[in-house]
Amino acid sequence: MPPPPPADHPSFRLCMLERPFKVVQLKPDEAIPETYMRMLTERAPAEGRFISLTRTNEEVSIVLECSNAEETDAVWRCIKIAGPMDFGRLRAILSKRLSISIGNTDYVLVPKESADGAVDALTQDGWEFVQGNQQ
């Protein structure tokens, strides 16, 4: 495993976002539902929510921060990374205990039921979690 960044590096400051997330997967030729298109094109995201759309030859994935914790398909939690970092190190730490899905270079999704384990594993490796729903 590569050495960690210096202890004062911004990537050591992580934040577990408060709201749960869901991932919607569509076929590559399937139309993106108007609800999601509207969220993507609004000037200010609805309720400050995170939304990301990725299209590949195999699928379209929509990652969405949910406003209602009771949504049954909101099965992910999201860790925000304060600065650039080596995702290989983060993946190595989490893959020992958890299945992870990386949305981009700033956010890591972990299954909701594994969120506490992810925080514990990262804290033991020297990462610092800051309070709040900072985006």
For residue 113, the number of C-alpha atoms closer than 13 Å in the C-beta half-sphere is 1
Domain limits, the chain: 10-129
pLDDT at position 100 is 44
63-121 pLDDT per residue, tens = 888 876 667 788 899 888 766 666 677 777 777 554 344 444 467 888 888 899 988 98
Whether the full predicted model's pTM is greater than 0.85, yes or no, is no
More confident residue, 77 or 132: 77
The architecture in CATH of the region 10-129 reads 2-Layer Sandwich (3.30)
Instruction: Tell me which residue of 135, 18, 25, 120 sits closest to 77, measured CA to CA.
Output: 18
Helices (H), 1-135: 34-41, 87-95, 115-124
Q: Which residues pair with 79 in a beta bridge?
A: 16, 108
Q: For residue 28, is pLDDT > 50?
A: yes
Q: Which residue has the tokens 């020297």?
A: 126
